[in-house]
Structure 1
Amino acid sequence: MTRVDVRDVDSLSAVSSVFPAGATRCGIYVLHFADGYEYVGQARNVLTRFRTHVRTWAHPIVALDFAPVPAQELDVTERRVIQGKEREGARLRNSALVGLPRGEAAADVVVARAAQEEWLNGVDVRADVSARCREVAGRDRSARNFRTLAERPYYDLLLDVLAAYVRQVIPAPDHTEQRFWCVTAMPSTGRTAAWQRVAAITVNNVETLVIGETTENGRVHLDGFLNVAPGLRLPSSLDVETDEYRTVGEVQRIQSEAAFLEFAVHHPLVRDAARITAMGLLRKGTSMMGRYHCTPLADDLFARIQWEDRSR
C-alpha cells in the first residue's frame, strides 16, 4: 500500500497528489486516526470516499494507505486486509454499527455496491417510490395500533419526521422496506406514565429513530431520539448523549423535539452519520423485526415522500 501522511497538510490535496493523471482510484484503503484506531474500506473512487470520511469522523485522520484493486476483487481483498489487521492486533474502527461486513451482503442484491458507495458519499439520489405508492389500493388499514396512531392530532407532523428520515437516510427505501428496515406503530417498549413510543424505525435489529409523546400537565407533545454510531462527527449545537444497546454496544443519541429531528436529518453531518450507521446495519442482513412492520403507516410515509419530491 502507498502511505499518504495527511497530518499537517490539506488532506484532499495531499491524497490527490499521489495519483498521477489517469491512475486508478479504485481499491482498498486504510485510514489511520490520531487516537491509534484504523478503518479498512473499499472504494471505486478513493478520493471521493476520503472526502466523506474527513467530513464524518470525529477523530482526525493522520494517514491514508491505498492499494489499487480491480472492482471485481474489492470484496475478497477487503476481507483479507481486515483479517490481516485483526491478526496483527490492530484496533479497528469497523465496529458493530459503522463497519460494513466483509465481502458480499444480502443488501447487495437490492442495492448495488456502487449505489451504496454513492449514497455514503452524500449524493442525493431521489428514489422513485411511485410504484410503491400504487400498491396501497384496497390495503387493510384496520390494525388497532395504526388506527390509534392515525387518530392522534400530531399524525401529520409525525409523517413529516418519519418521511424525512427515510428519504434522507435509507437507500432504496421501497426495495429495502420490511426485509431490512421496518416502521412500527405504538410500540409498547419503554412506556412510562409520562412518555410512550408512538413510532419507531428499526434498521436490521437496531432502533435508529424513535418518536414518542410526552404528557406534561395534561398537554401532549412529540419528541424523540436519533441513534447513530459512536465516533462520528455531529454538530456541537445538538443535545447528544451516549447510550448502549446489548446487541451492538455504544451509540450516540440525538434527543430533541420531533420537529427539530426532522430538520436535523437534513444537516450534512447528521445525514452522513445516519447514512453510515444505516448502511452498516443494512449490510449486516435482514431484520428479525419485519413481522412488526406497520404497512399502512409505511403507505402514508411513502405517500408523503412522493408528495414532497413532487413539490420540490
Structure 2
Amino acid sequence: MSVEASPRNHVSLLTGLWPQTDVQRVAVAGSATVAEQVLAAAGRCGIYVLSFYDGQLYVGQAVNVVSRFNDHRKTYSDIAELHFWRVPHEDLDDFEQHAIRALQAEGFLLRNVIHAAGRLGASDLDTIVSPEEQQQWLSSALSDHAGDEVRVDRAQVRIANHGRFERAMADPRMTAVLPAIRRYLAWTIPHPRRTEFSRWTISAVPDTNKNVFPRLLTITLHSLETLFVYAPFEEQHRTIFELNVDMATMQRHWPDADDLYDAFGAVLAREGLYRVRPGVLGLAVEGARNFMRLLDVRGVAEAARRLNLDMIRKGAALQWKSHSFGLCDLLLEPPVEDTRQDPMRRGLTADSLGDLPRAKHFYRVAAEAGRPEAAFRLGDLLTELRDDEQAAIWYGRAEQDGYHGVRRGPDFGNTYGLMERGKHSAQDGDTSAAVDLYQRAIASGSTEAYAELGLLLEEQGDAAGAEMAYQRSGEAGHGLGWFYLAAIRNQEGNAEQAEALYRKAVTAGYLGALIYIGLMQQERGEDDLAEANFRKAAKARYPYAEFLLGNIAALRDDRTAAVKHYNRAIKWGNTDGLVGLGQLLEADGDQDGAEAHYRQAADAGNPGGFVNLAMLYALRHDDERAEAYCREAVDAGYPDAYADLGDMLHDEGYPEAAEHYYRLADD
C-alpha cells in the first residue's frame, strides 16, 4: 500500500514542525556510505525517517544513526531514502512521538513498532506467521483449537517461574479461570502455540499491585498487558478480569456505550491510556463465567484480535523472563472432556463456566430426551441471552412436564458492572442514575449495594432511608451495613449500641470494624485489648490499624517499631503514616525533616498534614502561614484545626496566641 503524497512531502511537513533543526538527506545507494555522509564530528544523535519504495515510512530515534541504519538494512531490503535531523539526546522521545503523530494525521502509513496505532507495515512477525496467515486468521471463524504446532521451551525460564506457577495452581479460583483463559488465547491470539514466548507471555501471580490488588495472572503482548485477573487484597475470593481491546472496532459495533451496557450489564467499559498503543478500550467483568460471556458479546473478540495482532507486530515479548510455561502447558493443550457424562450434566458444567453456546446445546439435547429440568435451564439461559420468546416456549415445556424452578432475575451475574457504574455515577453527581443502578444490583443479589445505597441516601440527608438500607445490608450478611449503622449510633453518642454494631460487623466479616472497637477501648483505658484489635485489623491489611500501632509504639519510645508501622501504613496507601513519621522527626528536633513529611501528607489531602504544618509555623511565630494551613485543614474536613492549634500553644506557654486561635475557632 502506498500513500498518495509524494515521498518528499513528509520532509516538508517535519521541517515545518522543526524550523530550528536542519535536515540532511542521506542517499542509501551509490558509492558513498551512510557513515561517509553522516560524519561523527557533526553528530549522529537525532531523529531519522526511512522512506520505502512502496511509499511507507519509518520514524525512529538513534544515538548513532549510522549503526541504527545498518540494523534496519538487515530487516528491510526496500529502503529508498534516509532523512536525518540532529536532536539532543534528552529530546529524542518528544521529537519521535511528535513526528509519528503528525505523519499519521496526514495519512502516511508507518512501519513503526511503538507509538503508531492500527495495522502496521512490515514486521519481523512475518518470519513467524506469514502476512497471508495473519490476514486469514484475522477474518477466520472463532475456534477453541489453539493449533498443533510444536511449542518452544526454555528450561531456565520454566524453572525460574515454577514456584509462582505452583502458587497460582494452589488458588481455588484457577479451576474456573483456566477454561476462560484457554478460550481467550485460542480466540484472540494468532497461532498462540507458535507465537508463545517470542510474542506473548503469561505471568503467574506477578508482583504488580500486590499490596492492594494482587493478580492471579497477566497476559502481555509485546509491552501491553492485554488481560489480567485480580481481586482486592481483602476480597481474595473474587476474580475480576480486565480485558483490553481495540476501541475503534468496539465503537463500530457499539457507538453508544449505553447500548453495550443494555446488552451486557455485567461489563464496565473505560478508555485505557497507554503510551505504547493509543485507542485502547478496557472491559472489566467479575468472574470467569462473565468473562466467557464477554467474549461472546458482538465485536469483543474481533476487537481483541485487532489489538492483539497490532501488538505482536510491534515487536518481541518484553516480559519473557516471567513467562509461565507451566500455565501454558495447561492452557495450550486441548482439554480432556469426559464424554461419558449425560448431556444435562455437561450442560450444567458449561453453564457454570460461561460457555453458554455449549450449555444451550446440551440443555436442548437433554430436554428433547425428556428432562424437564433441562428445558427449564434452557429457558433460563435464553432469558439471559435476551431471547424471551424462545425462553417462554422452554419454560412452558418444563412446567407442562411438572418442573417449576426459580427463574433468574434480569440482572443475574451483572452485580459487578452495576456496582461499579453506580459508584461512577455517584462520583459524577448523577444521584438518580446511581440509585437506580444500586437498586438493580440489590435485585441481582448484592448485599454490598444496600450499604452503598445507604451512603448515597445519607449524603442526601435521608437519614431514615440510609438506616433502613444499612439494616438490610447487615441482615443480609454484609458487614458494611452494620459498620455504617454503628457509625451513625456513634455520632449520636450511643457508644454502647455503636460498639455492639461494630462487633456485628466483625462477625459478618468486616474486620475494619476492629479498629473502631479498639479506639473505644482506648478511651476506656483498655489499652491491651485495643492493641490486640489493632493487630488483628493490621493482619487483615487495614492500613489505619498500622498507623495506630505506630502511635502505640511511639508512646512506648520504641522508635524502630513505630517507624516500621508508619512505613507499612504508607506502603498500603494511608498518609497518616507520613504524619506519624513527621512527629517522630519533630520530637528529635529535625524540624526540616518533619516539615517535609507533613507537606507530603498535606499534598495528598491529609488534614493531619495541614494541622501539623500549622503547628510548626505557629511555633515559629509565622501566624500568617499557620492560619493558612488551619484553613486548609478545615477545608480538608477537620473542623477542629483552630482549636487544636490553640490547645497546643496554650500547652507550650503562649496563652495570648492560643486565645487568638480559640477566637478563630469560635468564628
| Counterparts in 2 of 1:228 and 1:93: CA distance versus 1, 3 Å | farther
Tell me which structure has the larger Cα radius of gyration. 2
| Counterparts in 2 of 1:142 and 1:225: CA distance versus 1, 3 Å | closer
Match of 2:350 in 1: none
Q: 1:241 aligns with which of 245, 270, 287?
A: 270
Of 121-130 and 234-243, the range deviating more from structure 2: 121-130
The answer as to 2:271 corresponding to 1:294 is: no
Match of 2:302 in 1: 272
Match of 2:56 in 1: 79
| Counterparts in 2 of 1:109 and 1:130: CA distance versus 1, 3 Å | closer
* Equivalent pair of 2:3/2:107 in contact (CA under 8 Å): no
| Counterparts in 2 of 1:268 and 1:220: CA distance versus 1, 3 Å | same
- 5 Å-filtered alignment, 1:199-238, equals 199-216=217-234, 220-233=237-250, 235=254, 236-237=260-261, 238=267
The amino acid across from 2:281 in the alignment is: Q
Deviations 1:241-281 (A, max 9, x none): 11212433452100111321222223340011000100001
The amino acid across from 1:227 in the alignment is: N
* Counterparts of 1:130 and 1:76, CA distance in 2: 35
The amino acid across from 2:179 in the alignment is: D
* Counterparts of 1:243 and 1:97, CA distance in 2: 16
* Counterparts of 2:3 and 2:277, CA distance in 1: 25
* Counterparts of 1:122 and 1:29, CA distance in 2: 28
Match of 1:254 in 2: 283
Q: CA deviation at 1:156?
A: 1.5
- 5 Å-filtered alignment, 1:27-106, equals 77=54, 79=56, 90=106, 96=115, 98-102=117-121, 104-106=122-124
| Counterparts in 2 of 1:145 and 1:252: CA distance versus 1, 3 Å | same
Q: CA deviation at 1:101?
A: 2.3
| Counterparts in 2 of 1:92 and 1:79: CA distance versus 1, 3 Å | closer
Q: What's the % identity of the aligned pairs?
A: 21
The amino acid across from 2:226 in the alignment is: T
Q: 1:166 aligns with which of 175, 182, 185?
A: 185
* Equivalent pair of 2:146/2:185 in contact (CA under 8 Å): no
Match of 2:168 in 1: 149
Higher strand share: 1
* Equivalent pair of 1:97/1:229 in contact (CA under 8 Å): no
Q: CA deviation at 1:310?
A: 11
Q: 1:121 aligns with which of 139, 150, 158?
A: 139
Structure number with greater CO (CA < 8 Å, separation at least 6) is: 1
| Counterparts in 2 of 1:142 and 1:250: CA distance versus 1, 3 Å | closer
Q: 1:112 aligns with which of 130, 135, 153?
A: 130
Query: SS of 2:238's equivalent?
Result: strand
Q: 1:177 aligns with which of 178, 196, 199?
A: 196
Query: SS of 1:245's equivalent?
Result: coil
Deviations 1:186-238 (A, max 9, x none): 11112334x2111010001100001113355x661111200123323255124
Q: 1:285 aligns with which of 311, 315, 318?
A: 315
Deviations 1:99-121 (A, max 9, x none): 2222x211111111111112222
* Equivalent pair of 1:132/1:302 in contact (CA under 8 Å): no
The amino acid across from 2:317 in the alignment is: S
* Equivalent pair of 2:247/2:303 in contact (CA under 8 Å): no
Q: CA deviation at 1:97?
A: 6.7
| Counterparts in 2 of 1:206 and 1:309: CA distance versus 1, 3 Å | farther
Q: CA deviation at 1:295?
A: 0.8
* Equivalent pair of 2:173/2:237 in contact (CA under 8 Å): no
Higher helix share: 2
| Counterparts in 2 of 1:308 and 1:265: CA distance versus 1, 3 Å | farther
Q: CA deviation at 1:301?
A: 1.1
Query: SS of 2:314's equivalent?
Result: coil
TM-score w.r.t. the length of structure 2 is 0.31
Match of 1:307 in 2: 335
* Equivalent pair of 2:153/2:325 in contact (CA under 8 Å): no
Query: SS of 1:282's equivalent?
Result: helix
* Equivalent pair of 1:161/1:258 in contact (CA under 8 Å): no
* Counterparts of 2:134 and 2:338, CA distance in 1: 24
Q: CA deviation at 1:173?
A: 0.5
Query: SS of 2:285's equivalent?
Result: strand
The amino acid across from 2:147 in the alignment is: D
| Counterparts in 2 of 1:192 and 1:262: CA distance versus 1, 3 Å | farther
Unaligned runs of 5+ in 2: 5-51, 60-98, 255-259, 262-266, 340-357, 359-667
* Counterparts of 2:3 and 2:139, CA distance in 1: 15
* Counterparts of 2:301 and 2:105, CA distance in 1: 32
> How many pairs were matched up?
234
* Equivalent pair of 1:97/1:277 in contact (CA under 8 Å): no
| Counterparts in 2 of 1:270 and 1:140: CA distance versus 1, 3 Å | same
* Counterparts of 1:147 and 1:214, CA distance in 2: 21
* Equivalent pair of 1:145/1:185 in contact (CA under 8 Å): yes
Of 150-159 and 247-256, the range deviating more from structure 2: 247-256
TM-score w.r.t. the length of structure 1 is 0.63
| Counterparts in 2 of 1:282 and 1:141: CA distance versus 1, 3 Å | closer
Query: SS of 1:183's equivalent?
Result: strand
Q: CA deviation at 1:78?
A: 6.4
Match of 1:23 in 2: none
Query: SS of 1:241's equivalent?
Result: strand
Q: CA deviation at 1:181?
A: 0.3
| Counterparts in 2 of 1:128 and 1:308: CA distance versus 1, 3 Å | farther
Query: SS of 1:263's equivalent?
Result: helix
Unaligned runs of 5+ in 1: 1-26, 31-74
Match of 1:54 in 2: none
* Counterparts of 1:164 and 1:121, CA distance in 2: 17
* Equivalent pair of 2:202/2:220 in contact (CA under 8 Å): yes
The amino acid across from 1:287 in the alignment is: A
| Counterparts in 2 of 1:181 and 1:165: CA distance versus 1, 3 Å | same
Match of 2:405 in 1: none
